[in-house]
Amino acid sequence: MPNEITRIAIIGAGPAGLLLAWALRDAGIDSIVVENRSEDYVLARIRAGVLEQGSVETLTRLGLGDRIASDGMVHNGIYLQADGVRHNVNFNELIGRTVTVYGQQEVVKDLVAAHRDAGSTIYYEATDVSVHDLESSDPRVTFGHGGEQHTITADFIVGADGFHGVCRPSIPFSDITLYDRNYPFAWLGILADVAPSTDELIYALHEDGFAMHSMRSHTVSRLYLQVDPTEDIANWPDERIWETLQTRLAVPGWTLHEGTVTEKSITPMRSFVASRLDYHNLFLVGDAGHIVPPTGAKGLNSAISDVTMLAAGLISHYAGDDGLLSRYGAAALARQWKVQQFSQWMTETLHRHPGDLQTNEFDYRSQLGRIDYVTGSLHAQRSLAEQYTGLPL
């Protein structure tokens, strides 16, 4: 029955948990990561694709920037498309900032490799993970691993275990409020073996619904379509997906190149924020504390900004100053609510809203007006640029 002692016990080996363990290790603070899935599963999960400039800077500062520099694609802006007309919004020209297209899967791959080389302790395939004594000065994590029952005693526990994890639900009901919002649409996403047909990401509002063209490399494209949340992927053979993308992304004189679809899935869209990210000796980071719909490309970036703030707080705690750590929850939530309103704005602006015909038609025309306003106003474009490339911590 192994018993271990560490400073920080981290639940979850997604980008948030792995990055926190790495940032702490860099500062000489030991931690143990406990993950319920296998390493292969964690490495194979396909999700986000866009890194804010600040996320790239954080990863680079922590020695994780080599492959981002060689394989990441720096993007100066995005295209906003409405009603068949495509406009470029050039963040670099507007505010001198960029984003980098680099898959979350690659960020995780870099982190797993770095931890492996450094000999970090990460328990994959842990069973029945639970957290205890959060109010005491030595909270514990228990789990099964390799047929044995393990206990880790730590100074702090960090919940980096995503939306469905065990940490947030371990905060007593009476001490936390959950704010959320579900959207009446979902994204059908594909990965395809075909060179991107665009130099920048395209976000398109079409009268049939949203579509977007993203990418993973010079030979792999990532595309999304708005579908009903109850839609069954079986109703979407590849030909139907391409046909719908061709319709929604079309602009005169431009060609969308098609290729072999290697992955497809449907993701519901949700906004969610917990009223607190700290509870005695437990801290929440990333999707464990908040979720955004993917339209603003903010989920992974918020996980990275939480981790940056919490790591700074823990490092100064061990240097004898508790100020930053005591402000972590409030500071991370203040930034998160700004990110939430941006993600909600992008989502509501770019998707077709179901509803009775009259309201729906009004909404659509109003959305076209919003996009027309943004693409015609330098002030509005600067605001979009500032939020898309990442607000300061």
Q: In what order do the strands lie in the sheet with 282-284?
A: 121-123, 31-34, 8-11, 156-159, 282-284, 278-279
By CB under 6 A, is residue 295 in contact with ligand PHB?
yes
By CB under 6 A, is residue 370 in contact with ligand RFL?
no
The rounded distance, in Å, linking the Cα atoms of 73 and 62 is 20
Binding mask 273-312 for ligand RFL (x = CB under 6 A): -------------xx------x--xxxxx-x---------
Q: Which residue of 186, 297, 315, 371 would you call a contact of ligand PHB, by CB under 6 A?
A: 297
Q: Give the tokens for residue 143.
A: 């789990």
Task: Point out the residue whose Cβ comes nearest to ligand PHB.
Answer: 49
By CB under 6 A, is residue 49 in contact with ligand RFL?
yes
Nearer to ligand RFL, 84 or 268 (CB): 268
DSSP β-bridge partners for residue 180: 272
Task: Report H helices in 38-163.
Answer: 39-44, 53-61, 66-71, 91-95, 104-118
Question: 72 contacts which partner out of ligand PHB, ligand RFL, none, CB within 5 to 8 A by kind?
Answer: none
- Amino acid 342 reads F
H-helix or E-strand spanning residue 173: none
Question: 305 contacts which partner out of ligand RFL, ligand PHB, none, CB within 5 to 8 A by kind?
Answer: none
Nearer to ligand RFL, 345 or 364 (CB): 345
Spatial contact of 326 and 312, defined as CB atoms under 8 Å apart: no
- Amino acid 321 reads D
Q: Which residue of 8, 21, 23, 34 would you call a contact of ligand RFL, by CB under 6 A?
A: 34
By CB under 6 A, is residue 375 in contact with ligand RFL?
no
Q: Which residue has the tokens 């009901």?
A: 173
Query: What is the set of active-site residues?
Result: 75, 203, 294, 298, 388
Nearer to ligand RFL, 341 or 361 (CB): 341
By CB under 6 A, is residue 103 in contact with ligand RFL?
no
By CB under 6 A, is residue 390 in contact with ligand PHB?
no
Question: 295 contacts which partner out of ligand PHB, ligand RFL, none, CB within 5 to 8 A by kind?
Answer: ligand PHB
The rounded distance, in Å, linking the Cα atoms of 85 and 102 is 27
- Shortest Å distance, C-beta 338 to ligand PHB: 17
Neighbours of 370 (CB within 10 A): 18
What one-character DSSP code corresponds to residue 107? H
By CB under 6 A, is residue 188 in contact with ligand PHB?
no
Neighbours of 368 (CB within 10 A): 16
Question: 304 contacts which partner out of ligand RFL, ligand PHB, none, CB within 5 to 8 A by kind?
Answer: none
By CB under 6 A, is residue 200 in contact with ligand RFL?
no
For 128-147, give the DSSP string. EEEEE-TTSSS-EEEEEETT
Burial 18-41 (b: 16+ CB within 10 A, else e): bbbbbbbbbeebebbbbbbbeeee
By CB under 6 A, is residue 86 in contact with ligand PHB?
no
Nearer to ligand PHB, 202 or 273 (CB): 202
By CB under 6 A, is residue 68 in contact with ligand PHB?
no
Spatial contact of 220 and 191, defined as CB atoms under 8 Å apart: yes
Binding site residues, ligand PHB, CB under 6 A: 48-50, 201, 214, 222, 294-295, 297
